[in-house]
Amino acid sequence: MQVRIGFFGSLRKKLHGDGALQDLRLHVEAGTTLGELLDTFSIPPDMARLVVVNGKKGNYAQVLSEHDRVSVFPYGLRETMRQGL
């Protein structure tokens, strides 16, 4: 099944290198959890301040569905935005 994932703040630069704005479209196995998806990017829970699935706060045990949209926000994003990133 296909899901989309977007990273914000320092996670975007870490994972995209150039800070590109586009989401990643991924094919994952049915039954994949949010935690398993984040593990594929080596994102430990203490790096992600907030993970949102389809506009609602997600949890790591949540099973993803076809066409889910995942957004991952790091700690320190508010401070980064204040500094004009």
> pLDDT tens digits, residue range 14-51?
666 565 556 889 999 999 999 999 999 888 778 888 99
Q: pTM of the entire structure?
A: 0.80
Which residues, listed in sequence order, are joined to residue 57 by a DSSP beta bridge?
52
Phi-psi region for residue 75, left (φ > 0), alpha (ψ -120 to 50) or beta?
beta
Q: Which residue has the tokens 């704005």?
A: 21
Residue-number span of the structural domain to which 28 is assigned: 2-82
CATH number at residue 61: 3.10.20.30
End-to-end CA distance of the chain: 34
- In this prediction, residue 46 carries a pLDDT of 81
The count of structural domains within the chain is: 1
Helix, strand, coil shares of the chain, percent, nearest 5, are 25, 30, 45
